[in-house]
Amino acid sequence: MFFHIKELQYHAKPSKPDPVFARQLQEALGGQYGEISVMMQYLWQGFNSRADPKYRDLLFDTGTEEIGHVEMFATMIARLLDDAPFEDQKAAYDSDPAIAAIMGGTNPQHAIVSGLGALPADAMGYPWNAKYIISSGNLLADFRANLNAESQGRLQVVRLYGMTDDPGVRDMLSFLIARDTMHQNQWYAAVRELEERENDIVVPTTFPRRLEKEEVAYTLFNFSRGSESSKGRWASGPSMDGRGQFNYVAEPQPFAGAPKLKPAPFLYHDTMPPKSMM
């Protein structure tokens, strides 16, 4: 069961209305790497977890915290829209092209659809999509996805921090940036722990190596002009999993010839092949 606690985890109060920035904050709420995404990702991974209870508990701890962050963003957006003089803005919009260009940054759905409230959507109004989240059942793969999600989310919130001078907004974003720091560290710690426990870094760790084409398992093929990629750690020396040696192929050759497909049956009305192929 979940219980809602009425107090916010942290302050979410701007110093003044700003409907333009309210739209920008929508990205950190309902965008691909926004708070709704990490909330749903961690909770879904927790719901589906069959592994060690400590990982399940970590997922629920963090997913439930992210529910609170969603509420903080929704509250901040609503307050940025409070007392926003939409009628005055409309008059200015109609009379001054320069102001019209600025006010083009507002989201009319904040007034029309949500009644001065936040939307489960990104900054462009695109609705939040469950396709954004990853819950594979493999915790090593999932925790790596979580680390990426927190990295991208923190990057976007830091950018938003630089796009406003409102001390109240910055105060909340500063708190969330710090929480993203913790979440990146915790997922990285969990990834390293699983790698050490399973003695592997390749997902899934249980797939029999003999079934791989091992001759290409540690080869970097030079498929772009230039050879700069040959200078990296990934091009020579022991592989990261300790099971092979990296090697670099400067001029890769195909393993197979050009494919030749049979003509499609007449029923499918395909393009007629040249007579040489018939």
222 is in an annotated binding site: yes
Residue 69, annotated ligand binder?
yes
User: Coil, strand or helix: which one is 90?
Assistant: helix
27 is in an annotated binding site: no
**In sequence order, which ranges of the chain are alpha helices (DSSP H)?**
19-30, 35-48, 53-81, 86-95, 97-103, 109-112, 139-162, 167-198
Distance from C-alpha of 160 to C-alpha of 155, rounded to nearest angstrom: 9
Under a CB-based contact definition with an 8 Å cutoff, are residues 100 and 93 in contact?
yes
Residue type, 53: P
The answer to whether 183 is annotated as binding is yes
* 57 labelled binding-site residue: yes
CA distance 156 to 115: 26
Instruction: Indicate the angle between helix axes 35-48 and 139-162, nearest 10 degrees.
Output: 170
269 is in an annotated binding site: no
Q: Which residues contact residue 14 at a Cβ distance below 8 angstroms, ignoring those fewer than 6 apart? A: 76, 79, 80, 166, 168, 169
Query: Is 71 assigned a ligand-binding role in the annotation?
Result: no
| 3-state class (DSSP) for residue 122 | coil
- Whether residue 110 is annotated as binding a ligand: the answer is no
The binding site for Mn(2+) consists of 35, 66, 69, 150, 183
The binding site consists of 35, 57, 61, 66, 69, 150, 183, 222, 224, 226
The binding site for Ca(2+) consists of 57, 61, 222, 224, 226
